[in-house]
Amino acid sequence: MQAKFRAKLESGQFRWLNEQLYTKSSEDAVKLFADTPKLFDVYHKGFELQVEKWPLNPVNVIIKRLKKLPEKSSIGDFGCGNALIARTLSPKWIVHSFDLAETNEFVTVANSASVPLQDQVLDVAVFCLSLMGIDFHRFIEEARRVLKPNGLLIVAEVKSRFGNEAGSSEESMLGGIKEFKRSLGNIGFKLEQEDTSNTMFVMFQFRKIELTDKKQSNQQSAVLKACIYKRR
């Protein structure tokens, strides 16, 4: 009975934390985990339990893709969680793992909107289910800052986030994907690959290009819908 009650409590905490992370700013998320560090463990335990139910974990797809890069390529994992990419690829590849709390020795604590890297040092920037918060567009702009010219941006996101508020039909999802690609194109990311074949997530690969017209994107959080789990 105690174990069941504890599991139910942790599940409720996870759903609450998930909603906070999607509907608040990144600064609010930083403060939340700074004030109560143990909540980060609760969140990632719940997150991993959710992803385990999926037919395929997108981080494993990304790792397979990254292994094709030349050794010693520099990779940034934004919102890394338990830093599986770094734990798998280091030391052959250079992986910088960022998240709001330190789950292991591979993780650097940082807001993805402001990471401790110099300009143009990464070959690849990765966001695996981590474009969270109402200001997630700042994460992408930060990735552009630290990517080398022609560097790669890999994004995996839950399919339902691309649907409109009325629902997540195929038509609305495709419209949301189109808008997402357009918004990234506005700040200098050219789409190279797109995979919508998985039932749970969409995978994108963009390349950083020069902005010839200096056009800046007005990315709004509405481009990606919050991923909120139903309350029980």
pLDDT tens for residues 20-53? 999 999 999 999 999 998 899 989 888 888 888 8
Q: How far is CA 72 from CA 20, 88, 108, 122, 158, in A?
A: 36, 14, 19, 11, 30
pLDDT confidence of residue 223: 72
- pLDDT confidence of 207, banded at 50, 70, 90? very high
On the question of pLDDT at 215 being above 50, the answer is yes
Token look-up 């390349």 returns 207
C-beta neighbour count of 188 within 10 angstroms: 21
pLDDT confidence of residue 227: 75
- pLDDT confidence of 229, banded at 50, 70, 90? low
- Calculate the CA dihedral of residues 146, 148, 152, 158 and round it to 10 degrees: 10
pLDDT tens-place string over residues 48-95:
888 888 999 999 999 999 999 999 999 999 999 999 999 999 999 999
Give the pTM: 0.90
On the question of pLDDT at 219 being above 50, the answer is no
Structure tokens at 219: 């990315």
Separation of alpha carbons 103 and 61, rounded Å: 22
Which residue(s) pair with 158 in the sheet?
A: 201
Q: CB within 8 A of 112, min separation 6: which ones? A: 26, 78, 79, 98, 127, 130, 138, 139, 142
Average of per-residue pLDDT across 7-22:
78
- pLDDT confidence of 224, banded at 50, 70, 90? confident
- Own/partner pairs, 191-196, CB within 8 angstroms, 24+ separation: 192/152, 196/159
Instruction: Please give the backbone phi and psi of residue 214, each rounded to the nearest 5 degrees, phi first.
Output: 55, 30
pLDDT confidence of residue 230: 56
- pLDDT confidence of 228, banded at 50, 70, 90? low
Architecture of the domain spanning 2-223 = 3-Layer(aba) Sandwich (3.40)
pLDDT tens-place string over residues 128-173:
999 999 999 999 999 999 999 999 999 999 998 998 655 557 777 8
On the question of pLDDT at 5 being above 50, the answer is no
The full set of domain ranges for the chain reads: 2-223
Separation of alpha carbons 222 and 161, rounded Å: 10
pLDDT confidence of residue 226: 79
On the question of pLDDT at 124 being above 70, the answer is yes
